[in-house]
A and B are shown apart, each in its own frame.
Chain A
């Protein structure tokens, strides 16, 4: 029990003194997760809009697959990306394995179904009367779609925040494809796992506290967004 309190003390001191190694690890975590989130938004939002507005063959199957993939096990994604990027894999020539780029690929795969599926859900739950109202007021088909997306904005923001929470807390996939190389691919979650293995709890706890802090911020943001979006009326 004492070592836990000692660990907390050391952790707080590391945070307060802005330890350079710690800052490097935090920044890389934010960079990798931020980039993965950007990729998943760029790919996922148009797809969620397509699923929301167009009927096409196998649409239902695609929605089911995306819903299923929201719960993808990170180690399976890590293994899949590893096999793709390893020297003998189809994308081995790109030499991306054990680089931040490989970590971004893995995290994008994890974030993409969350962004797409939850955004699609937000778009399809917009009251159909909104679409009709915008048509009666003279909207073109593109303007109608943009209006519906705008009405789903709080749900879409929640989807993005949920995906960010998922990738920030993820360890299995990035450990496999990033390799946890100090100063290069070492991020918060992989460091926590490694330092815990070594019995070096101070840094692990410090990072744990910061990770929790970031998660708390994300949840505050989510709560704020949802509250703002739930003005109820007729």
Chain B
């Protein structure tokens, strides 16, 4: 049984400027959710709160498994992940970047290799595996960010504008990866975009963030 995420009456402001204003939403344990909204509406903030990277001012963020609310500990944090728009490249090879989360979890060398190879294959980066990650193109970097997240088999994967700064070819590859993840059904994908056409292509469930509130479209 996968993770369910329940957001209830979440508020967040920066320097007195309200971003989220009592928003609520429930994510079921599968599927692809697309959160739309213009720039500056708080999509990234919402995702960061969902991924436990940031704390809300008020309201609750509850992860549930088999109906039980889970504590916000390291065990839970290791079941969800967020790919940031600027992914944060470690000054290592592509392989080591993708292997990072697995090494944190103490995986054996063989298991690390298997999982990394599977993840880079999934995003089409196998030929670049030994390359320094800092030398990748923007599109390849985004794909590596997704591979790095996929390697740890997250139950909930948040993607913040995964195809915002990439060319058409890389955008198509990333979209295909998301569609395939949705088909496999093992990971709940929640992504943000301000591109309506992309939202239409990817979304099983479309949400719109407006005036600090989320509504299902």
What's the least CB distance linking A164 to chain B, in Å? 23
Establish whether residues B104 and A135, one from each chain, have CB atoms under 8 Å apart when the complex forms: no
Partner of A137, one of B89, B91, B100, B133: B100
User: For residues 125 through 144 of chain A, which have their beta carbon under 8 Å from a beta carbon of chain B?
Assistant: 127, 129-130, 132-140, 143
| A-B contacts, CB under 8 A, total | 70
User: For residues 40 through 69 of chain B, which have their beta carbon under 8 Å from a beta carbon of chain A?
Assistant: 51, 53
Establish whether residues B141 and A137, one from each chain, have CB atoms under 8 Å apart when the complex forms: no
Establish whether residues A233 and B134, one from each chain, have CB atoms under 8 Å apart when the complex forms: yes
With CB as the reference atom, state the residue of chain B lying closest to A140. B74
Establish whether residues B135 and A231, one from each chain, have CB atoms under 8 Å apart when the complex forms: yes
Say yes or no: is A151 at the interface (Cβ < 8 Å to chain B). Answer: yes
Establish whether residues A132 and B134, one from each chain, have CB atoms under 8 Å apart when the complex forms: no
Scoring B residues 152 to 193 as 1 if CB is less than 8 Å from chain A, else 0, what string do you get? 100000000000000000000000000000000000000000
* Given known contacts A129-B86, A130-B88, A137 and B138 CB-to-CB distance under 8 angstroms: no
Partner of B78, one of A127, A138, A154, A232: A138
Partner of B84, one of A136, A139, A154, A232: A136
What's the least CB distance linking A139 to chain B, in Å? 5
Say yes or no: is A229 at the interface (Cβ < 8 Å to chain B). Answer: yes
Say yes or no: is B132 at the interface (Cβ < 8 Å to chain A). Answer: yes
Partner of A138, one of B83, B87, B141, B152: B152
Dominant SS among interface residues on chain B: mixed
What's the least CB distance linking A162 to chain B, in Å? 20
Establish whether residues A231 and B74, one from each chain, have CB atoms under 8 Å apart when the complex forms: no
Establish whether residues B91 and A127, one from each chain, have CB atoms under 8 Å apart when the complex forms: no
Establish whether residues B132 and A134, one from each chain, have CB atoms under 8 Å apart when the complex forms: no
Say yes or no: is A86 at the interface (Cβ < 8 Å to chain B). Answer: no
Q: Which of A135, A232, A234 has the most CB of B within 10 A?
A: A234
With A and B bound together, what is the CA distance between A231 and B93 in angstroms?
11
Establish whether residues A139 and B91, one from each chain, have CB atoms under 8 Å apart when the complex forms: no
With CB as the reference atom, state the residue of chain A lying closest to B158. A136
Establish whether residues A136 and B141, one from each chain, have CB atoms under 8 Å apart when the complex forms: no
Q: Please give, as numbers and ranges, the residues of chain B lying within 8 Å of A67 by CB-CB distance.
A: none
Establish whether residues A130 and B90, one from each chain, have CB atoms under 8 Å apart when the complex forms: yes
Scoring B residues 83 to 124 as 1 if CB is less than 8 Å from chain A, else 0, what string do you get? 110111111000000001100110000000000000000000
Say yes or no: is A147 at the interface (Cβ < 8 Å to chain B). Answer: yes
With A and B bound together, what is the CA distance between A80 and B102 in angstroms?
51
What's the least CB distance linking A150 to chain B, in Å? 8
With CB as the reference atom, state the residue of chain A lying closest to B54. A132
Establish whether residues A232 and B86, one from each chain, have CB atoms under 8 Å apart when the complex forms: no
User: For residues 120 through 174 of chain A, which have their beta carbon under 8 Å from a beta carbon of chain B?
Assistant: 127, 129-130, 132-140, 143, 147, 150-151, 154
What's the least CB distance linking A19 to chain B, in Å? 45
27 A-B pairs whose Cβ atoms sit less than 8 Å apart in the complex: A127-B88, A129-B87, A129-B88, A130-B88, A130-B90, A134-B88, A135-B53, A135-B77, A136-B53, A137-B81, A137-B100, A137-B101, A137-B104, A137-B152, A138-B77, A138-B105, A140-B74, A147-B90, A147-B100, A231-B91, A231-B134, A232-B134, A233-B132, A233-B135, A233-B136, A234-B134, A234-B136
Chain A residues at the B interface, C-beta cutoff of 8 Å: 127, 129-130, 132-140, 143, 147, 150-151, 154, 229, 231-234
